């Protein structure tokens, strides 16, 4: 039988540093690149639209490989996948910094995506091995804080580097973090617990997973930017056919890569649904708000950047509280309250008009951040701990996949509404209203989870 950790040692806190350093490295690399795109476009002599492949290549590979590496971690060990991923990411960062052509840059970013997929697919599985489930909420809260702070500070750090130094330092700064994660991880990260259930890796499923999610994300992005065409419709049909073959194969194997077995656990499937819906609403708001603020409210770029700060800051302050509350309050209640607060925050943003003070805009952004902070940590802990310990990799991979799918859908919907509306400001407001609806749906689904036992509280009661 698999054994779940039930005690904490001083080494546990040091081991967490390795995981959090890798998370920080991956998140920072994702948010910092948007600021650098104009510089890279000029450096390599490519058009702005082509330069976006520096971002898209990374995200596409990440999505294609998340569940595959999660399954590899279940079979061969999360520690091995983590150390391999960090090594690849550090190497790729050095290659990005040394790139002499746009093709070399994109290829290096693909390699970075492989490394990022390794670490992001199994990071919560490793956290579950390091900390007991009844204390996991606190370390997951620290995870949420790291993600929020890093995501918020990425553009500012990128701008500061580009203002005083060469663009290569954006990639070189990953190396110290990566070496720290490697050093600590090699010494202190635990191996997978023993299990009587034999594990084998289905290579065909790994390939089908990569092809399906690659086609899915690429098709969504192309349709959102270019509309429908005969070629894209055919591509969508191929995506559906590959998806059918993929799911049928998963239903026929004992422990699938796409965790269809875990979806039979009601609280797991409901939490994944909440996650996708929440991240879709969040990206709808975060991507469209700059258009709404600048085109409808008449704010400057600097004022818009300043007003985007209260959201992640409020999430940073709220997530640790949610991490402690999950030990006593059902995650369905916490998540439902969080989504209600998020919905209210979004509603207040739709009522903004020209001439509204920065303070009145800022507190509305903070309300949204508070709601996300109350929802995200309990939801992530529930997804991770509702799976058996030997399926932690599958749960962790699905957690990352749900986030990426939600973010991709949210961004794609913004592109669609901006294209359909007559002005960017109108498109931004429509996006906010759709985000309000999705946040409310996530809240309702979260409250439905109350009828299911909380996996954290159940394990705490039985320990």
Residue for token pair 């098709």: 219
> Would you place residue 163 in the very low, low, confident or very high pLDDT band (cuts 50, 70, 90)?
confident
What is the pLDDT at residue 3? 46
Q: What is the pLDDT of residues 327-340, one digit of tens each?
A: 788 989 999 999 99
What is the pLDDT at residue 50? 75
Q: How many C-alpha atoms does 202 have within 13 Å on its Cβ side?
A: 17
Q: Which of 255-259, 262-266, 293-297 is predicted with the least confidence, judged by mean pLDDT?
A: 293-297
Q: What is the pLDDT of residues 177-191, one digit of tens each?
A: 999 999 999 988 888
Share of the chain above pLDDT 70, in %: 89
Q: Which of 76-85, 94-103, 220-229, 373-382 is predicted with the least confidence, judged by mean pLDDT?
A: 220-229
How far apart, in whole angstroms, are the C-alpha atoms of residue 239 and residue 233? 10
What is the pLDDT at residue 323? 81
Average pLDDT, the chain: 83
State CA 158 to chain mean position distance: 20
Tokens for 336, please give them: 């439902």
How many other C-beta atoms are found inside a 10 Å radius of the C-beta of residue 247? 15
What is the pLDDT at residue 198? 61
Residue 25 has pLDDT above 60, yes or no: yes
What is the pLDDT at residue 194? 57
What is the pLDDT at residue 461? 54
Q: Which residue has the higher pLDDT, 193 or 395?
A: 395
Burial 35-59 (b: 16+ CB within 10 A, else e): bbbeebbebbebeeeebbbbebbbb
Question: For 110-114, which contacts have Cβ atoms below 8 Å and span 24 or more sequence positions?
Answer: 110/57, 110/58, 110/61, 112/29, 112/58, 112/88, 113/57, 113/58, 113/59, 113/60, 113/61, 113/62, 113/65, 114/61, 114/65, 114/85, 114/88
Residue 429 has pLDDT above 70, yes or no: yes
Q: What is the pLDDT of residues 269-278, one digit of tens each?
A: 999 999 999 9
What is the pLDDT at residue 195? 57
How many other C-beta atoms are found inside a 10 Å radius of the C-beta of residue 234? 10
State CA 232 to chain mean position distance: 27
Residue 3, CA distances (Å) to 160, 327, 362, 396 in order: 47, 21, 47, 18
| Mean pLDDT on 203-231 | 83
The 3 state secondary structure assigned to 86-121 is: HHHHHHHHHHHHCCCCHHHHHHHHHHHHHHHHHHHH
Q: Residue 112: which region, alpha, beta or left (left: phi > 0; alpha: psi -120 to 50)?
A: alpha
Tokens for 67, please give them: 């569940």
Residue 37 has pLDDT above 80, yes or no: no
Residue 462 has pLDDT above 80, yes or no: no
What is the pLDDT at residue 290? 77
- Nearest CA-CA partner of 411 in 75, 63, 11: 63
> Would you place residue 75 in the very low, low, confident or very high pLDDT band (cuts 50, 70, 90)?
confident
Tokens for 413, please give them: 């919907």
- Separation of first and last alpha carbons in the chain: 16
How far apart, in whole angstroms, are the C-alpha atoms of residue 145 and residue 138? 11
- Nearest CA-CA partner of 347 in 225, 440, 460, 418: 440
> Would you place residue 199 in the very low, low, confident or very high pLDDT band (cuts 50, 70, 90)?
low
Q: Exposed, middle or buried by CB within 10 Å (0-12, 13-18, 19+), for 163?
A: exposed
Residue 374 has pLDDT above 50, yes or no: yes
Sequence-distant (6+) residues with CB within 8 A of 355 are none
Sequence-distant (6+) residues with CB within 8 A of 163 are none
Three-class SS state of 167: coil
What is the pLDDT at residue 193? 67
What is the pLDDT at residue 91? 96
Residue 458 has pLDDT above 80, yes or no: no
Tokens for 373, please give them: 């902070």
| Mean pLDDT on 154-176 | 83
Q: Which of 154-158, 165-169, 380-384, 425-429 is predicted with the least confidence, judged by mean pLDDT?
A: 154-158
> Would you place residue 1 in the very low, low, confident or very high pLDDT band (cuts 50, 70, 90)?
very low
């Amino acid at each position: 039988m698999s054994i779940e950790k039930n005690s904490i040692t001083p080494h546990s806190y040091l081991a967490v540093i390795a995981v959090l350093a890798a998370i920080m490295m991956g998140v920072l690399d994702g948010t910092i690149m948007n600021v650098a795109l104009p510089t890279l476009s000029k450096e390599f002599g490519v058009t702005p639209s082509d330069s976006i492949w520096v971002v898209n290549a990374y995200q596409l590979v990440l999505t294609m490989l998340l569940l595959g590496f999660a399954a590899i971690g279940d079979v061969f060990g999360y520690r091995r996948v983590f150390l391999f991923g960090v090594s690849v990411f550090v190497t790729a960062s050095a290659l990005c910094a040394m790139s002499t052509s746009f093709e070399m840059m994109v290829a290096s970013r693909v390699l970075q995506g492989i490394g990022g997929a390794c670490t992001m697919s199994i990071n919560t599985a490793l956290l579950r091995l390091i900390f007991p489930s009844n204390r996991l909420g606190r370390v997951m809260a620290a995870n949420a804080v790291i993600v929020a702070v890093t995501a918020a500070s990425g553009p500012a750090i990128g701008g500061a580097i580009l203002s005083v130094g060469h663009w290569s330092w954006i990639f070189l700064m990953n190396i110290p973090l990566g070496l720290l994660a490697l050093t600590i991880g090699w010494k202190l990260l635990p191996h997978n617990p023993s299990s009587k259930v034999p594990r084998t890796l289905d290579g065909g499923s790994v390939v089908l997973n990569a092809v399906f999610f690659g086609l899915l994300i690429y098709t969504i992005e192309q349709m959102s930017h270019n509309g429908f065409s005969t070629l894209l419709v055919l591509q969508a049909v191929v995506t559906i056919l590959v998806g059918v073959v993929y799911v049928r194969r998963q239903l026929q194997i004992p422990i699938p890569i796409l965790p269809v077995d875990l979806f039979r656990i009601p609280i797991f499937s409901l939490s994944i649904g909440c996650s996708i819906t929440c991240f879709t609403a969040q990206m709808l708001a975060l991507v469209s708000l700059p258009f709404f603020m600048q085109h409808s409210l008449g704010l400057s770029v600097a004022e818009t950047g300043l007003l985007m700060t209260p959201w992640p800051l409020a999430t940073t302050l709220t997530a640790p509280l949610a991490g402690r509350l999950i030990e006593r309050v059902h995650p369905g209640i916490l998540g439902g309250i969080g989504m209600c607060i998020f919905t209210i925050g979004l509603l207040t943003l739709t009522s903004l008009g020209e001439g509204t003070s920065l303070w009145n805009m800022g507190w509305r952004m903070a309300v949204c951040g508070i709601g996300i902070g109350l929802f995200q940590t309990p939801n992530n802990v529930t997804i991770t701990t509702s799976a058996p310990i030997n399926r932690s990799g599958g749960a962790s991979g699905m957690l990352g996949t749900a986030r990426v799918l939600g973010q991709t859908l949210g961004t794609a919907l913004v592109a669609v509404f901006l294209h359909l509306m007559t002005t960017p400001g109108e498109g931004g407001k429509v996006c906010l209203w759709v985000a309000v609806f999705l946040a409310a749906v996530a809240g309702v689904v979260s409250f439905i989870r109350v009828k299911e036992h909380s996996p954290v509280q159940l394990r705490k009661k039985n320990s």
